[in-house]
Amino acid sequence: MDTMRFAPGAVLGILGGGQLARMIALAAADLGIRCHVFTPEADSPAFDVAARHTLAAYEDEAALAGFADAVDLVTYEFENVPAPTAAFLAARVPLHPGARALAVTQDRLSEKQFVSGLGLAVAPFRSIDTLADLEAAVAALGRPSVLKTRRFGYDGKGQVKIAEGTDLAAAYDMIGRFPAVLEAFVPFLREVSVVAARGGDGAFAAFDVCENEHRDHILAFTRVPAQLRPRTAEIAIAAARSIADALGYVGVFAVEMFITGEGEDERVIVNEIAPRVHNSGHWTSEGAQTSQFHQHVRAICGFPLGSSRRLGRVVMENLIGEASGDWREILAEPGAHLHLYGKRESRPGRKMGHVTRVSPEPR
């Protein structure tokens, strides 16, 4: 589809109404684009800032048809958009990123096969459909290893570590005996991600590689730049670019990676692709010349990409659960940029907001 026909005044449809949709809609508004959010979830954070919303199930074809008629193009804030929903919309209106990006990234097995097919390093893996497959795979890849469902895993859900004493039948039960992959355990020193944009014309702009610290499987801090050799950072960004080129990708995406080894032995191993704006890119709102949200809107509308240049050393801290209660102290802190997502109820593990702190680069 020709993406170059969009101009300010266009209406962008967004599937999903969480904080990512909210921040996309805010950026879109800066560029004169109005947003229409489609989600089955009442009281979604994006409703506060979007011109319109449709509250309906992703399987509701009448609602989807009305949505498609009301928008000029569609994007999404989560990778688990049902394939029939994506196909239904893509037949009526440009969908960016496209259905191929969704199909490849929704399934960990197809994602790993795709990434390793590009010649990029991934953790050794095996496909698991039965307990016998799991036993054979653990014999081949050893312990520790990590068992992950092929679909619907996020923030550590749908995965279990196979340690020395782990009973395999119990582990398989824990992930619901769903189709899965077993991955060799990667003894990583750092977790990093590349957040980047690709335009429909093949233009590419990556933000600096960032380093991620997870707590309880949830992103807690992102620090930029990552502590990497410049050559390793180049390799990480080149890996992200080859993934985006091979997918014919349009929009912002993130590639999560493990870094093993030190010095000359530093290596990049691709873990996961997120076909959307990503929590590890939130630092760009104040820490880069163009935010990931503006960049996404630019890319999918066929506008020129903005500069991804970093503006200092940046730390992004997620405010999870009760942590958002400190909003007053954060607002009183010079130079701290507070973002709250407008969620009514804080629950343990729920992302309520984030803070970004940018400091001058040491000379």
Chain positions contacting ligand AMP, by CB under 6 A: 123, 146, 153, 156, 159, 183, 185-186, 191, 214, 217, 256, 271-272
Q: Which CB atom, from 74 or from 181, has the smaller least distance to ligand AMP?
A: 181
**Considering the complex, what minimum distance in angstroms separates the CB of residue 184 from ligand AMP?**
6
**Considering the complex, what minimum distance in angstroms separates the CB of residue 266 from ligand AMP?**
17
Q: Which CB atom, from 212 or from 290, has the smaller least distance to ligand AMP?
A: 212
**Considering the complex, what minimum distance in angstroms separates the CB of residue 299 from ligand AMP?**
24
Cβ atoms of 193 and 258 within 8 Å: the answer is no
Residue 112: CA atoms inside 13 Å, Cβ hemisphere, count? 20
**Considering the complex, what minimum distance in angstroms separates the CB of residue 131 from ligand AMP?**
20
| Strand duo 190-198 + 145-149: pairing | unpaired
Q: Which CB atom, from 10 or from 220, has the smaller least distance to ligand AMP?
A: 220
Q: Which CB atom, from 72 or from 191, has the smaller least distance to ligand AMP?
A: 191
Nearest CA to 231 out of 194, 263, 191 is that of 263
Q: Which CB atom, from 107 or from 272, has the smaller least distance to ligand AMP?
A: 272
Residue 260 has which token pair? 């093993």
Residue 104 has which token pair? 């490849």
| DSSP one-letter code for 312 | S
Q: Which CB atom, from 158 or from 200, has the smaller least distance to ligand AMP?
A: 158
Per-residue burial over 169-193, b if 16 or more Cβ lie within 10 Å, else e, is eebbeebeeebbbbbbbbebebbbb
**Considering the complex, what minimum distance in angstroms separates the CB of residue 244 from ligand AMP?**
19
| DSSP one-letter code for 261 | S
**Considering the complex, what minimum distance in angstroms separates the CB of residue 138 from ligand AMP?**
13
Q: Which CB atom, from 183 or from 317, has the smaller least distance to ligand AMP?
A: 183
**Considering the complex, what minimum distance in angstroms separates the CB of residue 22 from ligand AMP?**
23
Nearest CA to 205 out of 283, 279, 97, 309 is that of 309
Q: Residue with structure tokens 């080129």?
A: 245
How many residues are given for the chain?
A: 363
What would the DSSP string read from start to end of 141-172?
H-SSEEEEESSS--TTTTEEEE-TT--HHHHH
Q: Residue with structure tokens 């962008």?
A: 12
Count CB neighbours of 269 within 10 A: 17
**Considering the complex, what minimum distance in angstroms separates the CB of residue 271 from ligand AMP?**
5
Count CB neighbours of 363 within 10 A: 3
